Amino acid sequence: MAALRGAATAALRGAAARFRGRAPGGARGAAGRQCYDLLVIGGGSGGLACAKEAAQLGKKVAVLDYVEPSPRGTRWGLGGTCVNVGCIPKKLMHQAALLGGMIRDAPHYGWGVTQAPHSWATLADAVQNHVKSLNWGHRVQLQDRKVKYFNVKASFVDTHTVCGVSKGGEETLLSAEHIVIATGGRPRYPTHIEGALEYGITSDDLFWLKESPGKTLVVGASYVALECAGLLTGLGLDTTVMIRSVPLRAFDQQMASLVTEHMAGHGTRILRGCAPEKVEKLPGQQLRVTWVDLTSDRKDAGTFDTVLWAIGRVPETASLNLEKAGVHTNPVTGKILVDAQETTSVPHIYAIGDVAEGRPELTPTAIMAGRLLAQRLSGRTSDLMDYSSVPTTVFTPLEYGCVGLSEEAAVARHGEEHVEVYHAFYKPLEFTVPQRDASQCYIKMVCLREPPQLVLGLHFLGPNAGEVIQGFALGIKCGASYQQLMRTVGIHPTCAEEVAKLRISKRSGLDPTVTGC
């Protein structure tokens, strides 16, 4: 760690010195080039955070952003995946689905309401209007910070020069002492499957549909797949998820099983161990999907209105001409290779967010990494982004929040004999009156066995999981122990207080079901 700090400090001094030596940004260079202190390629969360931070610290900054339409022709504005086709519209539609459940609960609480049909058009219009307001807000923020915005498709000319091409084909040359690549990624299409590209959609399209997707097949086992399937089911749509292998592979597998178990018990059909082989369009505009059961090799087929691919993402690097700048990528993933300082194989070119190899594909990490990078380049800090113990939440109908290691990862790292797992099945108070099923409401704390039992990971499945985990994430980031958490007074009556009441270990073999209030 000391060596890493020393390297970071040395790099900081060099980068800051080069920054201070630049001519005033925005000046015209050779052959009419526009010169800046910092160019940021990509107008998503990480890129915008980096650009605005650098500008606030006195640097001349330009952002280059261009969105290629999806194969279905879907377009959107400034702000990247999170704002336009990710976190924001997903959470709003997830909330709409949760409201449907609350309406079903309402009569039990004395409200004389009846279940009404859901209007996709009304929801989509409201969500899209909010997204457009965020697009405009980002434009205004860049203008206020005096960040120059170019709506152009960028590619490298050399190590310090980028060519931006507008929608109309006009070219602009820009150069900078430092360049940050923050282009993110796009959904992967299974192009080897007949009809996949022609007839399928992805999360790039779902939230911009003007009409209901109707009966939907979601292909994939990622959190995107399960979130989309969950919200569609919650909005009253006939939804099927096709999972080739295991769901939520990067997460704790006990928790993943509970997530899918809850979905299956609440209306989502789950096809396990199956893979699609062909998508055909029928005369009535519906889609016929043929798939194979990978265990029995038996083929089956079904008819759907929409097929949504959620089988992973690919980095947006193909059109950047990285080879002209000497930037190296992982030949398998296509992601840009970076070190702890977000530096690529070229010392003054950096990559942050989803496009960088080995980084979590999460908006908040990209934002923090971008801000810290801007601060280092401006000589304000030598701090590096810490990618350990990053909290996150999967917004399935029963939300799953976690921070730290999964049980499997903890055992692999420390050995089963050195790991203690405390757990509980609990029932949220709000589930009691409407007699909601709480079979999958579960909490698991993964700790070192040796006192004071450092907390390695916390996993929470239940209502408002993101809100619960965000609070505990601070304690775990600061090195909280099991003993400290057990001395923490809970807030009654809440689901979060159950974390501070975890007394039963898996090793004990005792029933972890919470009884009483």
| CA–CA dist 55, 361 (Å, integer) | 25
Question: Is residue 15's pLDDT more than 80?
Answer: no
Predicted pLDDT at 206: 98
**436 φ, ψ (degrees, to nearest 5):** -70, 150
Question: Is residue 25's pLDDT more than 50?
Answer: no
Predicted pLDDT at 32: 63
pTM over 0.85: yes
| CA–CA dist 138, 147 (Å, integer) | 11
Predicted pLDDT at 199: 98
Task: Write out pLDDT tens, residues 300-322.
Answer: 999 999 999 999 999 999 999 99
Question: Is residue 467's pLDDT more than 60?
Answer: yes
Predicted pLDDT at 516: 83
Predicted pLDDT at 18: 46
Q: Phi-psi category of 133—alpha, beta or left, where left has phi over 0 and alpha has psi -120 to 50? A: alpha
Percent of the chain with pLDDT over 70: 94
CB < 8 Å & 24+ apart, contacts of 86-89: 86/203, 86/363, 87/363, 88/130, 88/131, 88/134, 89/127, 89/128, 89/131, 89/207
Give catalytic residues, as residue numbers: 492
**290 φ, ψ (degrees, to nearest 5):** -105, 135
Residue carrying the six token digits 């099927």? 240
| CA–CA dist 345, 205 (Å, integer) | 35
Task: Write out pLDDT tens, residues 240-260.
Answer: 999 999 999 999 999 999 999
Q: 14-23, 382-391, 475-484: lowest mean pLDDT where?
A: 14-23
Residue carrying the six token digits 């080039």? 33
Predicted pLDDT at 50: 98
Q: Which residues contact 129 (CB under 8 A, 6 or more apart)?
A: none
pLDDT mean over 174-199 = 98
| pLDDT averaged over every residue in the chain | 94
| CA–CA dist 145, 163 (Å, integer) | 23
Predicted pLDDT at 4: 41
pLDDT confidence bin for 234, thresholds 50/70/90 = very high
Beta-bridge mates of residue 487: none
pLDDT mean over 10-19 = 46
Question: Is residue 3's pLDDT more than 60?
Answer: no
Predicted pLDDT at 204: 98
Question: Is residue 339's pLDDT more than 80?
Answer: yes
Q: Which residues contact 505 (CB under 8 A, 6 or more apart)?
A: 420, 421, 422, 423
Supply 254's token pair.
């006990």
Radius of gyration of the chain (CA): 25
Local structure of residue 1 (DSSP, 8 states)? -
pLDDT confidence bin for 16, thresholds 50/70/90 = very low
Q: 10-19, 51-60, 175-184, 407-416: lowest mean pLDDT where?
A: 10-19
pLDDT mean over 65-72 = 97
Task: Write out pLDDT tens, residues 262-283.
Answer: 999 999 999 999 999 999 999 9
Predicted pLDDT at 11: 44
